[in-house]
Structure 1
Amino acid sequence: MTPRLGAPLSLLAAFLLLFSLGCSTGGGGDDPTLSVAVSRQPTIPGQGTRVFVSAEACQNCHGAIYADFRQTGHPYKLNKVVNGQMPTYPYSSIAGALERITGAVNSLGAPQSYADVSYVIGGFGWKARWMDRNGFIVTGTGVQYNLDDGSMSAYNAAQVDKKYDCGECHTTGWRPFDAALNPNRQDNLPGMEGTFHSTGVQCEACHGLGGIHVATMNKADIVRKATPRTKAELEAADQAYGRAIACSECHTRDGERNHANGYVSPANAAGFAGVGGRIMAAGGLIQHHEQFDELLAIDPDNTAAGSTRMASFQTAKFTCTACHDQHKVTIYKPGTPGRVGGGPGVKSSNADCMTCHPNNDPAQSKHPAMAHLNCIDCHMPKMVKSATSRKSGGAVPVNIGDIKTHIFRINLSKTDASQFTADGKFAYPYLTAQFACHQCHDGTRAHDRTDRNESGFDFH
């Protein structure tokens, strides 16, 4: 149920709330901006007092969930540098990476220490980038640190003084810079293209403003399941400040709506009326943060038609939480070094898959060599690139990314050449043998198959 966002807190309730929260700076990478005094919250004309209470307030009643959530990547999408100290993370580290920056083209050049850095973008899981003292993203030929292999790579090497406009999905309480609606920049930094309440994706990014819920303790006063914000809400005087953001608004690329494009996504401009979009690709792999687009499965040759999924899939399975516990880590396993996947926040075992697909147990496969496989080995190959990629071995090398795809559907009747559009900008909503099979069947083993006819072989 949508919370009563317009209802102001009483002065007494606000005072008690402020007194109970204090100003803890947290630890283990917690940003001190997470605890913000209620009195500092803005008043939106016609909306009453709109109050963020911070993730730490949620911890008071939801301690176990909060502890799990702090082990995920969401809170670390953007990290403020405090007192010149490098941010820290639950599983990963960026120690020594800043000193390896080369070829920076921004006006201030490469930061020499964290005293020259205002914020760090990411650092959990895949990669890290830095923002200079003026809030501009450090761009150049060797400015991105990749956690997988410790390499440095390019980022927007031709763009000088790139502004940070990613706050819609990297922060909590983002309001884009607008001369009329929000003529402000975070910390008064010229490179910041807006303002926010908290760094990272915190509880209230997905659940909406928590002030009323904390005061009333009524579950009707907090968003339990967010629905995508409308264009009208985003264009309103408050710029949808404090409204809960749905997964589909950020886990999309072609469906991105922002202040710069007038909240009309490229997919909308191409004829699709909904949230999300086509599956964008580059360099022979799908680009990252497109999980919703992969689930949506739009045919890029017929964008206006929308999803190609069966109605039963859309109604029964078309939700992230069918497989994910959004409050728990997915890519790391507690006590296991490295980004190994299969963490407590994801259902990835064959038993999990067979909850919906009971007749497709690989252990019962008519192909004995497949009995040891997991469903996701074939249906979720690493076809997406966030930071690094590599080539498989064999006579015809296959691109291998660093994130598993969420397309799932395999179509062996399609040739490898039909995985992407002719210009390489979009992926079709199915997996060809190139990715579903040939990352393993790469032509180097006697059991490799060249038959792509699905009807000629009963895999399950």
Structure 2
Amino acid sequence: MKTFHRILGNTHLAAVAAMILGAVLLAFSASAVAQYSEPETCMGSVCHSDQYNDWKVSGHPYKLMKAEDARNRPIPLPEGYTWDNISYVIGGYKWKSRYMDLDGYILTQDGDGTLGNGNTQYNNFTGQWSDYNANLENGTKPYDCGRCHTTGWVENPDPTDLSGNQDMLPGIHGTFFAGGIQCQACHGTSHPGNIPAMDETGGCADCHIRGDANTIPASGGFVRHHEQYNEHLASPHAAFNCSDCHNPHKKGEFSIKESAECGVACHSGIAASYAETSMYDYDVTCEDCHMPYATKSAKALGPEIDGNQTHGDVMTHIFSIDTDPAGDMFTEDGGFVALDSDGKAKVTMNFACQRCHLTSSLEELGRFAENFHGRSSSSLEGLGIDPGLSGHWWDSTRSGEGFMMEVAYVGDDVFVFMSFYAYDAAGNRTYLFAQGLVDPGATT
């Protein structure tokens, strides 16, 4: 019996040990899950340091920041406010900053509180303040944008029930796990070894979309912001995924994959002929013309010419250019981008061309832009004598010698002024000048 009791005791101890071990493993598992919820864990130095470092300096983590974090960044405050009056900052990384009061409502008036004072949106590119819903009193504009500004957003169907509001604040109509777009917002909450496959276009489209995906909302002569997916579907690239061209962890302007550069991935023939043009010599890139700033997030950055805007602050993903000087990019009421019968859009020359060529008319630009990549010759001469040839030209093997050329349209004719600088037989500096009208498309 004694031996039996010893065996039974050992069996009992083994069971207890197993229970303890199970509890330890369960606690470890729970701890691991809790740790994984922080991006520093799942994308830290152990596993994904490169992706983490790229993500950390992109705009995604900073879509919504607590005031205690935002105050350490170079973000100014609206007149009459201190950081003690602010609960959260919306944005503040690239384009603009908006501010939430201690009840979670978005500020619409400056510190004076007088209706119409406004100046509660700070525009980073211009360093200027502008209005945001200045027709509303403070304490009336709720924050309900968490789906694209936070991770784990759950909308509160009854905002008067403060238990469903973040921090129990009446102005925040939902809850979230963390401000900004953290790892789980795109990858889900599973263990890194079991991340579900993500439809990468659909993933980006969760936020980079406005309204019906088959329309492109517009306002004030610009495409409205965060509509890249809408534009993408109306472009020649609709069959591609976002990540075919972009590294989604990187800041937008640095996110284009080398393998996706226009002249590498798809348009090598066009890129080769374009490399022989003066625009290439002036470092005009594919994106400059085909992805112009036709969208506005915070503030227009260029002048209005003949009733047309020329320069927003976000690049478009429409790509195709309308070279018709009379073309209209928007519907008659200005509320949407105009689409053709196939649902495709085109960006007009006031954005694609006039942003740089401010003194050229759309008629002049249209002559130069029409069939630009489809001309019979890939050589510079094949372009004809056009305003794009204006500039200084020289042969690096012939020091001190070259041309200065200015070309402009005069009605239906092309006016050319040229200066040739060289040396005569005695070594003296010599200038030769010529000017006159030539036929459009002439090459000599």
Structure-1-length-normalised TM-score: 0.65
Once the two structures are TM-superposed, the CA of residue 157 in structure 1 deviates from its matched residue by 1.0
Q: Choose from 294, 311, 315 the match for 1:383.
A: 294
Q: Is the aligned partner of 1:69 residue 2:55?
A: yes
Q: Is the aligned partner of 1:319 residue 2:299?
A: no
CA–CA distance in structure 2, aligned partners of residues 253 and 11 of structure 1: 48
Amino acid at match of 2:195: I
1:242-253 map, 5 Å: 246-253=203-210
1:342-421 map, 5 Å: 342-343=253-254, 345-347=255-257, 351-361=261-271, 364=274, 367-372=277-282, 373-392=284-303, 398-413=309-324, 415-416=326-327, 418-421=328-331
Once the two structures are TM-superposed, the CA of residue 12 in structure 1 deviates from its matched residue by 5.0
Once the two structures are TM-superposed, the CA of residue 227 in structure 1 deviates from its matched residue by 6.5
Contact 1:394 1:444 in 2 (8 A): no
Contact 2:144 2:174 in 1 (8 A): yes
Task: Provide closer, same or farther for how the CA distance between residues 368 and 56 of structure 1 changes in structure 2, counting only shifts above 3 A.
Answer: closer
Once the two structures are TM-superposed, the CA of residue 367 in structure 1 deviates from its matched residue by 4.7
Q: Choose from 133, 142, 165 the match for 2:144.
A: 165
Provide the residue aligned with 2:355 in structure 1. 439
CA–CA distance in structure 2, aligned partners of residues 410 and 348 of structure 1: 24
CA–CA distance in structure 2, aligned partners of residues 348 and 387 of structure 1: 30
Q: Is the aligned partner of 1:197 residue 2:177?
A: yes
Equivalent pairs counted in the alignment come to 335
CA–CA distance in structure 1, aligned partners of residues 281 and 374 of structure 2: 13
Amino acid at match of 1:319: N
Task: Provide closer, same or farther for how the CA distance between residues 349 and 155 of structure 1 changes in structure 2, counting only shifts above 3 A.
Answer: farther
Task: Provide closer, same or farther for how the CA distance between residues 375 and 192 of structure 1 changes in structure 2, counting only shifts above 3 A.
Answer: same
Once the two structures are TM-superposed, the CA of residue 18 in structure 1 deviates from its matched residue by 5.2
1:6-25 map, 5 Å: 15-17=27-29, 19=31
Task: Provide closer, same or farther for how the CA distance between residues 314 and 288 of structure 1 changes in structure 2, counting only shifts above 3 A.
Answer: closer
The structure having more radius of gyration, on CA atoms, is 2
CA–CA distance in structure 2, aligned partners of residues 458 and 368 of structure 1: 16
Provide the residue aligned with 1:284 in structure 2. 221
* Same amino acid, percent of matched pairs: 36
Provide the residue aligned with 2:155 in structure 1. 176
Report the 3-state secondary structure (helix = DSSP H, G, I; strand = E; otherwise coil) of the residue aligned with 1:359: helix
1:35-54 map, 5 Å: 37=34, 53-54=37-38
CA–CA distance in structure 2, aligned partners of residues 55 and 246 of structure 1: 18
How big is the alpha-carbon RMSD for the aligned residues of Structure 1 and Structure 2? 3.3
Task: Provide closer, same or farther for how the CA distance between residues 144 and 348 of structure 1 changes in structure 2, counting only shifts above 3 A.
Answer: farther
Amino acid at match of 2:251: V
Report the 3-state secondary structure (helix = DSSP H, G, I; strand = E; otherwise coil) of the residue aligned with 2:359: coil
The structure richer in helix per residue is: 2
CA–CA distance in structure 2, aligned partners of residues 188 and 54 of structure 1: 23
Amino acid at match of 1:294: E
Task: Provide closer, same or farther for how the CA distance between residues 425 and 397 of structure 1 changes in structure 2, counting only shifts above 3 A.
Answer: closer
CA–CA distance in structure 1, aligned partners of residues 369 and 262 of structure 2: 28
Structure-2-length-normalised TM-score: 0.67
* Structure 2 residues not aligned, in runs of 5+: 1-21, 110-117, 339-344, 379-444
CA–CA distance in structure 2, aligned partners of residues 397 and 183 of structure 1: 48
The structure richer in strand per residue is: 2
Contact 2:323 2:366 in 1 (8 A): no
CA–CA distance in structure 1, aligned partners of residues 97 and 251 of structure 2: 18
Task: Provide closer, same or farther for how the CA distance between residues 426 and 174 of structure 1 changes in structure 2, counting only shifts above 3 A.
Answer: same
1:422-433 map, 5 Å: 422-428=332-338, 429-433=345-349
Contact 2:293 2:314 in 1 (8 A): yes
Once the two structures are TM-superposed, the CA of residue 148 in structure 1 deviates from its matched residue by 0.7
Once the two structures are TM-superposed, the CA of residue 439 in structure 1 deviates from its matched residue by 1.9
Provide the residue aligned with 2:85 in structure 1. 116
CA–CA distance in structure 2, aligned partners of residues 351 and 206 of structure 1: 25
Contact 1:395 1:443 in 2 (8 A): no
CA–CA distance in structure 2, aligned partners of residues 350 and 204 of structure 1: 26
Q: Give the structure, 1 or 2, with the largest relative contact order (CA under 8 Å, sep 6 or more).
A: 1
Provide the residue aligned with 1:137 in structure 2. 106
CA–CA distance in structure 2, aligned partners of residues 347 and 368 of structure 1: 26
Amino acid at match of 1:16: F
Partner deviation per Cα, 1:295-323 (whole Å, 9 max, x = no partner): 011xxxxxxxxxxx56xx443xx211122
* Structure 1 residues not aligned, in runs of 5+: 1-9, 22-36, 39-51, 103-109, 229-244, 255-266, 268-275, 298-308, 331-341
CA–CA distance in structure 2, aligned partners of residues 346 and 369 of structure 1: 22
Report the 3-state secondary structure (helix = DSSP H, G, I; strand = E; otherwise coil) of the residue aligned with 1:209: coil
Contact 1:142 1:154 in 2 (8 A): yes
